[in-house]
A and B are shown apart, each in its own frame.
Chain A
Amino acid sequence: MGDILVTEHLSVCFSGFWALHDVDFSVGEGELRVVIGPNGAGKTTLMDLITGRTKPSSGKIWFGGHDITGKSPHEIAAKYGIGRKFQGPNLFENMTAAENLELAAAGRGTVAGTFLRSAPKSAAEEADGVLRRIGLTGKRGLLACELSHGERQWLEIGMLMMQDPKLMILDEPTAGMTEEETRQTGEMIQNLLKGRTILVVEHDMKFVRQVAKTVTVLHMGRILAQGPLAAIENNPEVIRVYLKSEDKEAPKHAGP
Protein backbone atom coordinates (compact mmCIF):
# COMPACT_ATOMS: atom_id res chain seq x y z
CA MET A 1 0.00 0.00 0.00
CA GLY A 2 1.37 3.36 -0.94
CA ASP A 3 1.17 6.67 0.83
CA ILE A 4 -2.32 8.10 0.81
CA LEU A 5 -1.36 11.46 2.32
CA VAL A 6 1.81 13.33 1.35
CA THR A 7 2.91 16.87 2.14
CA GLU A 8 5.76 18.50 0.27
CA HIS A 9 7.75 21.38 1.78
CA LEU A 10 4.63 22.45 3.58
CA SER A 11 4.99 25.80 5.34
CA VAL A 12 2.65 28.35 6.81
CA CYS A 13 3.46 31.73 8.27
CA PHE A 14 1.23 33.82 10.54
CA SER A 15 2.32 37.47 10.80
CA GLY A 16 6.00 36.63 10.56
CA PHE A 17 5.81 33.53 12.74
CA TRP A 18 6.44 30.25 10.92
CA ALA A 19 4.00 27.80 12.50
CA LEU A 20 5.15 25.07 10.12
CA HIS A 21 8.37 25.07 8.20
CA ASP A 22 9.25 22.82 5.27
CA VAL A 23 7.33 19.78 6.51
CA ASP A 24 7.53 16.63 4.39
CA PHE A 25 4.99 14.38 6.04
CA SER A 26 3.42 11.21 4.67
CA VAL A 27 0.98 8.58 5.91
CA GLY A 28 0.48 5.17 4.32
CA GLU A 29 -2.94 3.90 3.35
CA GLY A 30 -4.54 1.96 6.17
CA GLU A 31 -1.92 3.17 8.63
CA LEU A 32 -2.58 4.44 12.12
CA ARG A 33 -0.15 7.31 12.71
CA VAL A 34 0.17 9.25 15.93
CA VAL A 35 1.53 12.80 15.97
CA ILE A 36 2.96 14.10 19.21
CA GLY A 37 4.89 17.15 20.29
CA PRO A 38 4.90 19.97 22.79
CA ASN A 39 2.24 22.68 22.78
CA GLY A 40 2.76 25.10 19.95
CA ALA A 41 4.74 22.56 17.91
CA GLY A 42 2.30 22.90 15.04
CA LYS A 43 0.32 19.66 15.36
CA THR A 44 -3.10 21.33 15.11
CA THR A 45 -1.81 23.66 12.43
CA LEU A 46 -0.74 20.67 10.35
CA MET A 47 -4.23 19.19 10.73
CA ASP A 48 -5.78 22.54 9.81
CA LEU A 49 -3.74 22.65 6.64
CA ILE A 50 -4.64 19.10 5.66
CA THR A 51 -8.36 19.71 6.20
CA GLY A 52 -8.31 23.05 4.39
CA ARG A 53 -9.18 25.27 7.34
CA THR A 54 -5.93 27.14 6.83
CA LYS A 55 -4.16 27.82 3.57
CA PRO A 56 -0.41 27.12 3.41
CA SER A 57 2.06 29.86 2.60
CA SER A 58 4.03 27.42 0.45
CA GLY A 59 4.23 23.72 -0.32
CA LYS A 60 1.76 21.13 -1.46
CA ILE A 61 -0.58 18.54 -0.03
CA TRP A 62 -1.48 15.37 -1.90
CA PHE A 63 -4.27 12.99 -0.98
CA GLY A 64 -4.98 9.79 -2.86
CA GLY A 65 -2.96 11.17 -5.74
CA HIS A 66 -4.95 14.43 -5.90
CA ASP A 67 -3.51 17.85 -5.16
CA ILE A 68 -5.75 19.21 -2.42
CA THR A 69 -3.64 22.27 -1.58
CA GLY A 70 -5.81 25.31 -0.92
CA LYS A 71 -9.13 23.58 -1.41
CA SER A 72 -12.06 24.51 0.82
CA PRO A 73 -12.83 22.49 3.95
CA HIS A 74 -16.17 21.18 2.83
CA GLU A 75 -14.76 20.05 -0.49
CA ILE A 76 -11.90 18.22 1.19
CA ALA A 77 -14.41 16.57 3.49
CA ALA A 78 -17.03 15.71 0.89
CA LYS A 79 -15.09 15.10 -2.30
CA TYR A 80 -11.93 13.59 -0.94
CA GLY A 81 -13.23 11.94 2.18
CA ILE A 82 -11.11 13.43 4.93
CA GLY A 83 -12.92 13.58 8.25
CA ARG A 84 -11.94 15.21 11.49
CA LYS A 85 -13.02 14.99 15.08
CA PHE A 86 -12.14 17.69 17.56
CA GLN A 87 -11.78 17.69 21.30
CA GLY A 88 -15.01 17.72 23.21
CA PRO A 89 -18.31 16.40 22.00
CA ASN A 90 -18.65 16.13 18.26
CA LEU A 91 -22.39 16.15 18.11
CA PHE A 92 -25.14 18.53 17.04
CA GLU A 93 -26.63 18.96 20.48
CA ASN A 94 -30.03 20.30 19.45
CA MET A 95 -30.70 17.71 16.78
CA THR A 96 -31.96 14.18 17.21
CA ALA A 97 -29.76 11.09 17.14
CA ALA A 98 -31.20 10.16 13.76
CA GLU A 99 -30.59 13.66 12.38
CA ASN A 100 -27.01 13.62 13.62
CA LEU A 101 -26.39 10.40 11.75
CA GLU A 102 -28.05 11.69 8.58
CA LEU A 103 -25.92 14.82 8.68
CA ALA A 104 -22.78 12.76 9.11
CA ALA A 105 -23.45 11.39 5.64
CA ALA A 106 -24.00 14.90 4.25
CA GLY A 107 -20.75 14.98 2.38
CA ARG A 108 -21.41 11.64 0.77
CA GLY A 109 -24.38 12.96 -1.12
CA THR A 110 -22.19 14.56 -3.70
CA VAL A 111 -21.59 12.94 -7.04
CA ALA A 112 -17.88 12.83 -6.39
CA GLY A 113 -18.64 11.14 -3.12
CA THR A 114 -20.46 8.42 -4.98
CA PHE A 115 -17.44 7.83 -7.11
CA LEU A 116 -15.12 7.29 -4.23
CA ARG A 117 -17.41 4.89 -2.41
CA SER A 118 -20.25 2.58 -3.28
CA ALA A 119 -23.57 4.13 -4.19
CA PRO A 120 -25.25 5.22 -0.96
CA LYS A 121 -28.69 4.05 0.05
CA SER A 122 -30.85 6.87 1.29
CA ALA A 123 -29.22 8.55 4.23
CA ALA A 124 -32.24 7.83 6.40
CA GLU A 125 -32.13 4.10 5.67
CA GLU A 126 -28.46 3.90 6.41
CA ALA A 127 -28.94 5.88 9.59
CA ASP A 128 -31.48 3.31 10.69
CA GLY A 129 -28.96 0.58 10.07
CA VAL A 130 -26.30 2.32 12.08
CA LEU A 131 -28.74 3.10 14.88
CA ARG A 132 -29.34 -0.61 15.18
CA ARG A 133 -25.62 -1.39 15.29
CA ILE A 134 -24.96 1.15 18.02
CA GLY A 135 -28.07 0.17 19.93
CA LEU A 136 -29.86 3.52 19.80
CA THR A 137 -32.88 2.64 17.67
CA GLY A 138 -35.23 3.39 20.53
CA LYS A 139 -33.62 6.76 21.14
CA ARG A 140 -33.51 7.96 17.53
CA GLY A 141 -35.91 10.81 18.25
CA LEU A 142 -34.09 12.13 21.30
CA LEU A 143 -31.93 15.21 21.04
CA ALA A 144 -28.22 14.54 21.34
CA CYS A 145 -28.05 16.63 24.48
CA GLU A 146 -30.64 14.38 26.08
CA LEU A 147 -28.62 11.20 25.69
CA SER A 148 -26.46 9.73 28.42
CA HIS A 149 -22.69 10.09 28.28
CA GLY A 150 -22.15 6.59 26.98
CA GLU A 151 -24.91 6.91 24.41
CA ARG A 152 -23.36 10.13 23.16
CA GLN A 153 -20.04 8.39 22.61
CA TRP A 154 -21.75 5.60 20.69
CA LEU A 155 -23.54 8.23 18.63
CA GLU A 156 -20.19 9.78 17.75
CA ILE A 157 -18.96 6.40 16.65
CA GLY A 158 -22.12 5.93 14.64
CA MET A 159 -21.48 9.25 12.92
CA LEU A 160 -18.02 8.07 12.07
CA MET A 161 -19.50 4.98 10.48
CA MET A 162 -21.93 7.10 8.48
CA GLN A 163 -19.25 9.45 7.34
CA ASP A 164 -17.04 6.58 6.28
CA PRO A 165 -14.00 8.72 5.57
CA LYS A 166 -10.89 7.55 3.81
CA LEU A 167 -8.72 9.46 6.26
CA MET A 168 -9.88 10.26 9.77
CA ILE A 169 -8.06 12.86 11.81
CA LEU A 170 -8.60 12.59 15.56
CA ASP A 171 -7.62 15.71 17.49
CA GLU A 172 -6.72 14.73 21.08
CA PRO A 173 -9.54 12.19 21.33
CA THR A 174 -8.88 11.26 24.95
CA ALA A 175 -8.71 14.77 26.37
CA GLY A 176 -10.57 14.89 29.66
CA MET A 177 -11.29 11.16 29.68
CA THR A 178 -10.81 8.75 32.55
CA GLU A 179 -8.34 5.89 32.22
CA GLU A 180 -11.09 3.46 31.45
CA GLU A 181 -12.61 5.71 28.83
CA THR A 182 -9.19 6.23 27.31
CA ARG A 183 -8.67 2.50 27.07
CA GLN A 184 -12.09 2.04 25.48
CA THR A 185 -11.37 4.73 22.94
CA GLY A 186 -8.14 2.97 22.06
CA GLU A 187 -10.02 -0.29 21.53
CA MET A 188 -12.62 1.41 19.43
CA ILE A 189 -10.00 2.96 17.20
CA GLN A 190 -8.25 -0.33 16.70
CA ASN A 191 -11.40 -2.38 16.05
CA LEU A 192 -14.01 -0.25 14.40
CA LEU A 193 -11.69 1.78 12.29
CA LYS A 194 -9.53 -1.11 11.15
CA GLY A 195 -8.50 -0.74 7.57
CA ARG A 196 -9.04 2.98 7.49
CA THR A 197 -6.24 5.49 7.58
CA ILE A 198 -6.14 7.30 10.90
CA LEU A 199 -4.12 10.28 12.03
CA VAL A 200 -4.19 10.89 15.78
CA VAL A 201 -2.88 13.97 17.55
CA GLU A 202 -2.26 13.13 21.19
CA HIS A 203 -0.62 14.10 24.45
CA ASP A 204 -1.50 11.07 26.58
CA MET A 205 1.54 8.75 26.20
CA LYS A 206 -0.27 5.80 27.74
CA PHE A 207 -2.84 6.02 24.96
CA VAL A 208 -0.12 6.51 22.41
CA ARG A 209 1.54 3.34 23.55
CA GLN A 210 -1.75 1.52 23.36
CA VAL A 211 -2.45 2.30 19.73
CA ALA A 212 0.62 3.57 17.97
CA LYS A 213 2.92 1.79 15.65
CA THR A 214 4.58 4.71 13.92
CA VAL A 215 4.92 8.04 15.63
CA THR A 216 5.80 11.47 14.21
CA VAL A 217 7.17 14.08 16.58
CA LEU A 218 6.75 17.75 15.75
CA HIS A 219 8.74 20.49 17.40
CA MET A 220 8.72 24.21 16.58
CA GLY A 221 7.05 23.68 13.23
CA ARG A 222 9.34 20.95 11.96
CA ILE A 223 9.46 17.17 12.12
CA LEU A 224 11.87 16.38 14.90
CA ALA A 225 11.73 12.61 14.59
CA GLN A 226 9.65 9.91 12.99
CA GLY A 227 9.66 6.16 13.38
CA PRO A 228 8.47 3.15 15.35
CA LEU A 229 7.22 3.88 18.84
CA ALA A 230 10.15 2.19 20.53
CA ALA A 231 12.73 4.21 18.63
CA ILE A 232 10.94 7.42 19.39
CA GLU A 233 10.73 6.69 23.07
CA ASN A 234 14.47 6.15 23.18
CA ASN A 235 15.39 9.10 21.00
CA PRO A 236 17.42 11.43 23.25
CA GLU A 237 16.28 14.56 21.41
CA VAL A 238 12.68 13.58 21.79
CA ILE A 239 13.19 12.77 25.41
CA ARG A 240 14.80 16.13 26.01
CA VAL A 241 12.21 18.18 24.21
CA TYR A 242 9.07 16.34 25.04
CA LEU A 243 8.95 13.04 26.83
CA LYS A 244 10.52 14.17 30.08
CA SER A 245 7.69 16.62 30.69
CA GLU A 246 4.97 14.34 29.41
CA ASP A 247 5.77 11.02 30.98
CA LYS A 248 6.20 10.35 34.66
CA GLU A 249 7.06 6.68 34.13
CA ALA A 250 10.46 5.71 32.85
CA PRO A 251 10.25 4.38 29.30
CA LYS A 252 10.22 0.61 29.05
CA HIS A 253 13.27 0.28 26.89
CA ALA A 254 15.53 2.88 28.35
CA GLY A 255 18.78 3.04 26.49
CA PRO A 256 22.21 3.24 27.98
Chain B
Amino acid sequence: MPFNEVNSMDSFLALLLNGLNSSALILLAALGMVIICGLMNVINLAHGELIMVGAYTAFSVTQVAGLSFAVAVPAAFVVSAAVGAAMELLVIRKLTGRPAETMLATFGISVVLQQVTNLIFGAQSQYVAIPIEGNLSAGRVVIPYYNIFTILFAAAVSAGTVLLLKKTRFGKRVRAITQNRTMAECLGINSARIDTLTFAFGCGLAGMAGALAAPVKSVSPFMGGPYLVSSFMTSVVGGIASFFGTAVGSLLVGESTALLGGVSNDVFASILVFLLIIAVIRFKPEGLFAKERR
Protein backbone atom coordinates (compact mmCIF):
# COMPACT_ATOMS: atom_id res chain seq x y z
CA MET B 1 0.00 0.00 0.00
CA PRO B 2 1.41 3.37 -0.97
CA PHE B 3 1.39 5.42 2.19
CA ASN B 4 3.53 8.27 3.32
CA GLU B 5 3.42 10.12 6.60
CA VAL B 6 1.97 13.52 6.98
CA ASN B 7 4.92 15.03 8.70
CA SER B 8 3.52 17.66 10.92
CA MET B 9 0.58 19.73 12.01
CA ASP B 10 1.58 22.21 9.34
CA SER B 11 1.24 19.71 6.55
CA PHE B 12 -2.05 18.49 7.95
CA LEU B 13 -3.37 22.02 8.18
CA ALA B 14 -2.21 22.70 4.64
CA LEU B 15 -4.01 19.59 3.40
CA LEU B 16 -7.13 20.59 5.28
CA LEU B 17 -7.14 24.09 3.82
CA ASN B 18 -6.56 22.83 0.30
CA GLY B 19 -9.30 20.30 0.74
CA LEU B 20 -11.51 23.22 1.69
CA ASN B 21 -10.80 24.82 -1.65
CA SER B 22 -11.64 21.63 -3.53
CA SER B 23 -14.79 21.34 -1.43
CA ALA B 24 -15.77 24.90 -2.30
CA LEU B 25 -15.64 24.20 -6.03
CA ILE B 26 -17.44 20.90 -5.57
CA LEU B 27 -20.12 22.64 -3.52
CA LEU B 28 -20.70 25.35 -6.10
CA ALA B 29 -21.03 22.75 -8.81
CA ALA B 30 -23.38 20.62 -6.73
CA LEU B 31 -25.70 23.45 -5.61
CA GLY B 32 -27.37 23.57 -8.99
CA MET B 33 -27.87 19.85 -8.88
CA VAL B 34 -29.58 20.00 -5.50
CA ILE B 35 -32.10 22.42 -6.93
CA ILE B 36 -32.71 20.64 -10.18
CA CYS B 37 -32.48 17.06 -9.02
CA GLY B 38 -33.48 17.49 -5.41
CA LEU B 39 -36.26 20.03 -5.70
CA MET B 40 -37.54 19.44 -9.19
CA ASN B 41 -36.78 15.73 -9.48
CA VAL B 42 -35.18 16.23 -12.86
CA ILE B 43 -32.05 14.28 -13.72
CA ASN B 44 -30.05 16.67 -15.86
CA LEU B 45 -27.14 14.90 -17.52
CA ALA B 46 -26.09 18.15 -19.17
CA HIS B 47 -25.14 19.61 -15.79
CA GLY B 48 -21.42 19.41 -16.54
CA GLU B 49 -21.95 21.17 -19.87
CA LEU B 50 -23.75 24.04 -18.15
CA ILE B 51 -20.67 24.42 -16.00
CA MET B 52 -18.64 24.39 -19.20
CA VAL B 53 -20.87 27.10 -20.69
CA GLY B 54 -20.17 29.24 -17.64
CA ALA B 55 -16.43 28.68 -18.02
CA TYR B 56 -16.51 29.69 -21.67
CA THR B 57 -18.56 32.75 -20.79
CA ALA B 58 -15.85 33.72 -18.33
CA PHE B 59 -13.28 33.17 -21.09
CA SER B 60 -15.21 35.27 -23.59
CA VAL B 61 -15.85 38.08 -21.13
CA THR B 62 -12.30 38.32 -19.77
CA GLN B 63 -10.09 37.33 -22.69
CA VAL B 64 -12.16 38.22 -25.71
CA ALA B 65 -14.07 41.25 -24.48
CA GLY B 66 -11.35 42.26 -22.05
CA LEU B 67 -13.70 42.97 -19.17
CA SER B 68 -12.96 42.20 -15.55
CA PHE B 69 -13.59 38.91 -13.81
CA ALA B 70 -16.21 40.64 -11.67
CA VAL B 71 -18.31 40.95 -14.82
CA ALA B 72 -17.54 37.42 -15.92
CA VAL B 73 -19.15 35.70 -12.95
CA PRO B 74 -22.64 37.24 -13.19
CA ALA B 75 -22.38 36.94 -16.96
CA ALA B 76 -21.76 33.22 -16.55
CA PHE B 77 -24.84 32.99 -14.36
CA VAL B 78 -26.99 34.76 -16.92
CA VAL B 79 -25.77 32.78 -19.91
CA SER B 80 -26.09 29.38 -18.26
CA ALA B 81 -29.48 30.34 -16.84
CA ALA B 82 -30.63 31.32 -20.32
CA VAL B 83 -29.47 28.01 -21.76
CA GLY B 84 -31.23 26.25 -18.89
CA ALA B 85 -34.45 28.16 -19.44
CA ALA B 86 -34.39 27.20 -23.11
CA MET B 87 -33.82 23.56 -22.15
CA GLU B 88 -36.71 23.62 -19.71
CA LEU B 89 -39.15 25.25 -22.08
CA LEU B 90 -38.29 23.16 -25.11
CA VAL B 91 -37.45 19.78 -23.66
CA ILE B 92 -37.67 19.17 -19.93
CA ARG B 93 -41.25 20.17 -19.35
CA LYS B 94 -42.48 17.87 -22.10
CA LEU B 95 -40.92 14.93 -20.29
CA THR B 96 -42.31 15.41 -16.79
CA GLY B 97 -42.55 12.20 -14.83
CA ARG B 98 -40.43 10.30 -17.34
CA PRO B 99 -36.95 10.08 -15.87
CA ALA B 100 -35.48 7.70 -18.43
CA GLU B 101 -36.47 9.93 -21.33
CA THR B 102 -35.32 13.01 -19.46
CA MET B 103 -31.91 11.47 -18.92
CA LEU B 104 -31.69 10.54 -22.57
CA ALA B 105 -32.77 13.97 -23.74
CA THR B 106 -30.41 15.83 -21.42
CA PHE B 107 -27.58 13.52 -22.46
CA GLY B 108 -28.28 14.44 -26.06
CA ILE B 109 -28.27 18.11 -25.13
CA SER B 110 -24.92 17.65 -23.40
CA VAL B 111 -23.41 16.22 -26.58
CA VAL B 112 -24.86 19.06 -28.65
CA LEU B 113 -23.45 21.66 -26.26
CA GLN B 114 -20.01 20.03 -26.41
CA GLN B 115 -19.95 19.93 -30.18
CA VAL B 116 -21.26 23.45 -30.66
CA THR B 117 -18.60 24.75 -28.30
CA ASN B 118 -16.01 22.67 -30.15
CA LEU B 119 -17.12 24.18 -33.45
CA ILE B 120 -17.07 27.75 -32.20
CA PHE B 121 -13.97 27.72 -30.03
CA GLY B 122 -12.01 24.68 -31.13
CA ALA B 123 -11.06 21.74 -28.97
CA GLN B 124 -7.93 23.16 -27.39
CA SER B 125 -7.93 24.43 -23.87
CA GLN B 126 -8.58 28.16 -23.43
CA TYR B 127 -6.77 30.54 -21.13
CA VAL B 128 -8.53 32.50 -18.41
CA ALA B 129 -6.30 34.76 -16.30
CA ILE B 130 -6.43 34.26 -12.57
CA PRO B 131 -8.03 37.43 -11.19
CA ILE B 132 -6.29 37.46 -7.82
CA GLU B 133 -2.63 36.54 -7.77
CA GLY B 134 -0.43 35.85 -4.80
CA ASN B 135 -0.80 33.66 -1.78
CA LEU B 136 -0.89 33.66 1.97
CA SER B 137 1.88 31.65 3.53
CA ALA B 138 2.73 30.79 7.10
CA GLY B 139 5.41 28.18 7.54
CA ARG B 140 4.50 25.15 5.48
CA VAL B 141 0.97 26.31 4.96
CA VAL B 142 0.36 28.07 1.68
CA ILE B 143 -3.04 29.11 0.43
CA PRO B 144 -3.46 31.20 -2.72
CA TYR B 145 -5.66 34.27 -2.33
CA TYR B 146 -7.84 33.02 -5.15
CA ASN B 147 -8.58 29.88 -3.17
CA ILE B 148 -9.69 31.98 -0.21
CA PHE B 149 -11.91 33.94 -2.55
CA THR B 150 -13.39 30.73 -3.96
CA ILE B 151 -14.20 29.44 -0.48
CA LEU B 152 -15.85 32.70 0.57
CA PHE B 153 -17.75 32.92 -2.69
CA ALA B 154 -19.05 29.37 -2.39
CA ALA B 155 -20.18 30.03 1.17
CA ALA B 156 -21.92 33.24 0.15
CA VAL B 157 -23.69 31.68 -2.80
CA SER B 158 -24.85 28.75 -0.69
CA ALA B 159 -26.16 31.05 2.01
CA GLY B 160 -27.80 33.23 -0.62
CA THR B 161 -29.52 30.26 -2.21
CA VAL B 162 -30.85 29.00 1.09
CA LEU B 163 -32.12 32.49 1.94
CA LEU B 164 -33.71 32.78 -1.47
CA LEU B 165 -35.62 29.57 -0.95
CA LYS B 166 -36.58 30.22 2.63
CA LYS B 167 -37.40 33.89 2.74
CA THR B 168 -38.40 35.23 -0.64
CA ARG B 169 -41.80 35.02 -2.24
CA PHE B 170 -40.28 33.15 -5.15
CA GLY B 171 -38.58 30.69 -2.85
CA LYS B 172 -41.75 29.93 -0.96
CA ARG B 173 -43.58 29.25 -4.18
CA VAL B 174 -40.84 26.90 -5.30
CA ARG B 175 -41.14 24.99 -2.06
CA ALA B 176 -44.92 24.99 -2.26
CA ILE B 177 -44.84 23.47 -5.72
CA THR B 178 -42.35 20.89 -4.59
CA GLN B 179 -44.52 19.84 -1.69
CA ASN B 180 -47.96 19.91 -3.28
CA ARG B 181 -48.12 20.99 -6.87
CA THR B 182 -51.85 20.55 -7.35
CA MET B 183 -52.73 22.58 -4.31
CA ALA B 184 -50.28 25.28 -5.29
CA GLU B 185 -51.91 25.55 -8.70
CA CYS B 186 -55.34 25.70 -7.12
CA LEU B 187 -54.12 28.63 -5.09
CA GLY B 188 -53.18 30.43 -8.27
CA ILE B 189 -49.45 29.76 -8.45
CA ASN B 190 -48.19 29.48 -12.04
CA SER B 191 -46.26 26.28 -11.58
CA ALA B 192 -45.04 26.14 -15.18
CA ARG B 193 -43.36 29.52 -14.97
CA ILE B 194 -41.87 28.74 -11.57
CA ASP B 195 -40.48 25.50 -12.97
CA THR B 196 -38.69 27.34 -15.75
CA LEU B 197 -37.28 29.91 -13.35
CA THR B 198 -36.16 27.28 -10.87
CA PHE B 199 -34.43 25.21 -13.51
CA ALA B 200 -32.79 28.30 -14.95
CA PHE B 201 -31.62 29.29 -11.48
CA GLY B 202 -30.02 25.89 -10.92
CA CYS B 203 -28.28 26.15 -14.28
CA GLY B 204 -27.11 29.66 -13.48
CA LEU B 205 -25.46 28.37 -10.32
CA ALA B 206 -23.69 25.75 -12.40
CA GLY B 207 -22.49 28.49 -14.75
CA MET B 208 -20.96 30.41 -11.87
CA ALA B 209 -19.16 27.28 -10.73
CA GLY B 210 -17.66 27.04 -14.21
CA ALA B 211 -16.58 30.67 -14.14
CA LEU B 212 -14.82 30.22 -10.82
CA ALA B 213 -13.09 27.03 -11.91
CA ALA B 214 -11.90 28.52 -15.21
CA PRO B 215 -8.76 30.35 -14.01
CA VAL B 216 -7.37 27.34 -12.12
CA LYS B 217 -8.60 24.44 -14.15
CA SER B 218 -8.76 24.07 -17.88
CA VAL B 219 -11.49 25.35 -20.15
CA SER B 220 -12.24 22.89 -22.93
CA PRO B 221 -15.45 21.65 -24.59
CA PHE B 222 -15.20 18.30 -22.86
CA MET B 223 -14.42 19.55 -19.35
CA GLY B 224 -17.90 18.91 -17.99
CA GLY B 225 -17.81 15.17 -17.33
CA PRO B 226 -15.90 15.09 -14.02
CA TYR B 227 -18.08 17.88 -12.63
CA LEU B 228 -21.24 15.92 -13.39
CA VAL B 229 -19.86 12.93 -11.57
CA SER B 230 -18.70 14.85 -8.51
CA SER B 231 -21.96 16.82 -8.30
CA PHE B 232 -24.02 13.65 -8.33
CA MET B 233 -21.75 11.99 -5.80
CA THR B 234 -21.89 14.94 -3.47
CA SER B 235 -25.64 15.35 -3.68
CA VAL B 236 -26.28 11.67 -3.21
CA VAL B 237 -24.01 11.44 -0.20
CA GLY B 238 -25.51 14.49 1.42
CA GLY B 239 -29.13 13.79 0.66
CA ILE B 240 -30.31 14.99 -2.70
CA ALA B 241 -32.74 17.67 -1.56
CA SER B 242 -30.85 18.95 1.43
CA PHE B 243 -28.61 21.99 1.14
CA PHE B 244 -26.99 21.32 4.45
CA GLY B 245 -26.43 17.74 3.40
CA THR B 246 -24.83 18.83 0.14
CA ALA B 247 -22.57 21.26 1.96
CA VAL B 248 -21.48 18.49 4.28
CA GLY B 249 -21.21 16.10 1.36
CA SER B 250 -18.93 18.39 -0.59
CA LEU B 251 -16.82 18.94 2.50
CA LEU B 252 -16.55 15.19 2.97
CA VAL B 253 -15.70 14.47 -0.64
CA GLY B 254 -13.27 17.37 -0.99
CA GLU B 255 -11.49 16.85 2.31
CA SER B 256 -11.28 13.10 2.09
CA THR B 257 -9.81 13.32 -1.41
CA ALA B 258 -7.28 15.88 -0.24
CA LEU B 259 -6.37 14.13 2.99
CA LEU B 260 -6.24 10.66 1.48
CA GLY B 261 -4.30 12.09 -1.42
CA GLY B 262 -1.87 13.63 1.02
CA VAL B 263 -1.43 10.42 2.93
CA SER B 264 -1.14 8.13 -0.06
CA ASN B 265 -1.61 9.26 -3.62
CA ASP B 266 -4.38 10.77 -5.69
CA VAL B 267 -5.31 7.65 -7.62
CA PHE B 268 -5.63 5.61 -4.45
CA ALA B 269 -7.55 8.47 -2.88
CA SER B 270 -10.05 8.60 -5.73
CA ILE B 271 -10.67 4.90 -5.45
CA LEU B 272 -11.16 5.09 -1.70
CA VAL B 273 -13.50 8.04 -1.95
CA PHE B 274 -15.61 6.22 -4.50
CA LEU B 275 -15.75 3.17 -2.26
CA LEU B 276 -16.81 5.32 0.69
CA ILE B 277 -19.58 6.84 -1.39
CA ILE B 278 -20.77 3.43 -2.49
CA ALA B 279 -20.83 2.42 1.16
CA VAL B 280 -22.93 5.45 2.08
CA ILE B 281 -25.38 4.75 -0.72
CA ARG B 282 -25.57 1.11 0.24
CA PHE B 283 -26.31 1.69 3.89
CA LYS B 284 -28.11 4.99 3.71
CA PRO B 285 -29.51 5.32 0.19
CA GLU B 286 -31.37 8.51 0.97
CA GLY B 287 -28.12 10.24 1.89
CA LEU B 288 -26.69 11.31 5.20
CA PHE B 289 -29.02 14.23 5.81
CA ALA B 290 -32.09 13.38 3.83
CA LYS B 291 -35.14 15.52 4.34
CA GLU B 292 -38.24 13.55 5.13
CA ARG B 293 -39.98 12.92 1.85
CA ARG B 294 -43.66 12.18 1.84
Chain A contact residues, CB within 8 Å of chain B: 51, 53, 72-75, 77-79, 83-86, 90, 92-95, 99, 102-104, 106-108, 110, 113, 163
Contacts and interface: CB of A to CB of B under 8 A. Distances in A.
19 contacts: A73-B185, A73-B186, A74-B191, A77-B185, A77-B188, A83-B187, A86-B182, A90-B183, A92-B176, A92-B179, A94-B175, A94-B179, A94-B291, A95-B176, A103-B173, A103-B176, A103-B189, A106-B188, A107-B188
Given A99-B172, A103-B173, A74 B188 contact: yes
Contacts of B180: 92
A110 B190 CA distance: 11
A103 B184 contact: yes
Given A99-B172, A102-B172, A103-B176, A93 B188 contact: no
Interface in B164-204: 172-173, 175-176, 179-180, 182-192
B189 A95 contact: no
Contacts of B175: 92, 94-95
Contacts of B183: 86, 90, 92
B179 A106 contact: no
B282 interface: no
Given A92-B175, A102-B172, A103-B172, 18 more contacts: A72-B192, A73-B186, A74-B185, A77-B186, A77-B188, A78-B188, A78-B189, A78-B190, A92-B176, A93-B294, A94-B291, A95-B172, A95-B175, A95-B179, A103-B184, A106-B173, A107-B188, A113-B188
B186 A93 contact: no
Contacts of B176: 92, 95, 103, 106
B186 A51 contact: yes
A84 B185 CA distance: 10
Question: 4 nearest interchain CB pairs?
Answer: A107-B188, A78-B188, A77-B188, A73-B185
A163 B185 CA distance: 12
Contacts of A93: 179, 294
Contacts of B185: 53, 73-74, 77
A142 to B, nearest CB: 15
A158 B191 CA distance: 23
B240 to A, nearest CB: 16
A156 B37 CA distance: 30
Nearest to A51: B186
A99 B182 CA distance: 17
B186 A106 contact: no
Most chain A Cβ neighbours within 10 Å, of B189, B291, B292: B189
B196 to A, nearest CB: 14
A104 B186 CA distance: 9
A128 to B, nearest CB: 16
Contacts of A104: 187
Interface in B235-294: 291-292, 294
Contacts of B291: 94
Nearest to A79: B188
B169 to A, nearest CB: 8
A77 B191 CA distance: 12
Contacts of B182: 53, 86
A196 to B, nearest CB: 16
A193 B159 CA distance: 42
Contact of A74 (B179, B190, B292): B190
Interface string B39-78: 0000000000000000000000000000000000000000
Contacts of A73: 185-186
Contact of A107 (B179, B189, B292, B294): B189
B188 A108 contact: yes
Contacts of B186: 51, 73, 77, 83-85
A232 to B, nearest CB: 29
Most chain B Cβ neighbours within 10 Å, of A73, A75, A84, A90: A73
Contacts of A103: 172-173, 176, 184, 187, 189
Nearest to A123: B169
Nearest to A81: B188
A75 B187 CA distance: 10
A104 B176 CA distance: 10
B268 to A, nearest CB: 42
A83 B186 CA distance: 6
Contacts of A77: 185-188
B163 to A, nearest CB: 14
Contacts of A78: 188-190
Given A92-B179, A93-B179, A107 B187 contact: yes
B47 to A, nearest CB: 26
B191 to A, nearest CB: 6
Contacts of A79: 188
A63 B292 CA distance: 40
Contacts of A110: 188
A63 to B, nearest CB: 14
Contacts of B172: 95, 99, 102-103
